[in-house]
Amino acid sequence: MVAGLRISVEISENKSIRIRGPARINVIDGECYISGAKLSKGLQVIISAYKSQAIYSRSRALVEIELGEGAGVDVAKPEEESLFEWLEAAYKLATKGSRVVVIGPTESGKTSFSVLLANIAIEQGLRPCIVDGDVGQEDIGPPGFVALSCPSKQFVWLRDLEPQAMRFIGHNNPLMGSYRLIASIADLVSRASTQSDLIVINTDGWVSSPQAIEMKLDIARYVGASHIVALAGGSFMGHLPRKGFAEIVVLRSPQGVRVRSREERRALRSQAYKKAFEGSVMRSFSISEVIITGSCLFSGSPVSGEELSQLSEALSTKVLYASILENTIYAFTEGGRESDKPLRLRDGREVVVIPRGSEKGLLCSLVSRAREEYPCIIDSVDPENLRINVVTRYQGDVSAIIIGRIKLDESYEDSWRGSRCQI
């Protein structure tokens, strides 16, 4: 953060201020709270340029705030600040056995409320677990995954937590991976139930269609939610009864929340990917010794050498490997261009051309024999030796590789997201 204006602010008893980052906060005297985490005299916290955060005091606190470019401090009117309404709800929800699903549109405060509830639970002597199910803007793990963490100490940012378990979705669009998303969240909640007193499920911001609401309610149903917290006033929930298979708690969202641009959200995803792959090494696996899912090329029966030659002649490019499934041939070629539509041979069969190199950068997951999942990136496929090469931090045993529909470039930006097979 570039140093800028430095100011001192006194926060009166049961009052709050809202800070837009980038900013550095030093507690000079007293105690204050961010997202339920207590900050005592001498402690320091940084608010990123992508965030705005409310700070409140239960007695009195003096803080020094160093503001970076574009940062600011606001004193919200009581009717505009939802913080104390959130606190009241969090104390009621922070009970042993609670399973709370947090839903709301983009930038409505889902992550902030999830952190607040977890910190209040820790303050009450409970052990919370958080399942981060926002597959597009994942904080605990990389995007394309959902992740579980069970903090024992209070924390300020969800990104400060390390994942204890992850499940690969392979998409960062909840609609495209909805069946896997629901199953993965339910799986992580089941795991969390053995080591926690309270479970918070943070979800994505897709609430703009009946299908989106149905998916959120399915998540609540399959995890056995005790409560659903609906932010932004809950208008997207329609006329649902406030008590059904879960009690619905409707809360306002704070005013003046920092709305992130598309470019900023993309930069945050890139940071999360970099964190996940820091210190990675290359690993190579025999295609015949691991299960590969999410691949068209390795789903069918291999094509023989003579058929490869005939296929190369028909396509006017060298076919290195091919498989056939039903009436479709998937051809991994030395050259040629990927086509949006399959080619059709004279015998009526369709051919999907997969040029060598198109697999590079695909986000994937390594699955251990114990069913733990770890992020990886495909580097290349070696058709001559029937091997697949990936980049990963994980060094343990591998029983399967799951290939996703997200491709990362050298800067760890998601350069492609789609639905069709890339390998």
Residues 188-217 pLDDT 10s: 999 999 999 999 999 999 999 999 999 999
pLDDT surpassing 70 at residue 256: no
Contact 19, 9 (CB under 8 A): no
Q: Per-residue confidence at 3, pLDDT binned at 50, 70, 90?
A: low
Residue 132 has pLDDT above 90, yes or no: yes
Distance from C-alpha of 115 to C-alpha of 138, rounded to nearest angstrom: 14
Give long-range contacts, CB 8 A cutoff, 24+ apart: 177-185.
177/135, 178/215, 181/133, 181/135, 181/146, 181/215, 181/219, 182/215, 182/218, 182/219, 182/222, 184/133, 184/146, 185/131, 185/133, 185/146, 185/219, 185/222, 185/223
pLDDT average, residue stretch 166-187? 95
Q: Give the Cα separation of 62 and 52 in Å (integer).
A: 19
Given a cut of 90, is residue 80 above it in pLDDT?
no
Which residue, among 343, 346, 344, 355, has the nearest Cα to 297 in the 3D structure? 355
Does the model's pTM come out above 0.85?
yes
Are 107 and 257 spatial neighbours (Cβ–Cβ below 8 Å)?
A: yes
Distance between CA atoms of 328 and 342, rounded to whole angstroms? 9
Q: Is the pLDDT of residue 2 over 60?
A: no
Q: Is the pLDDT at 242 greater than 80, yes or no?
A: no
The domains located in the chain, with CATH, are: 6-74 (2.60.120.1030), 83-263 (3.40.50.300), 279-423 (no CATH)
Q: Looking at the predicted structure, is the pLDDT value of residue 255 above 90?
A: no
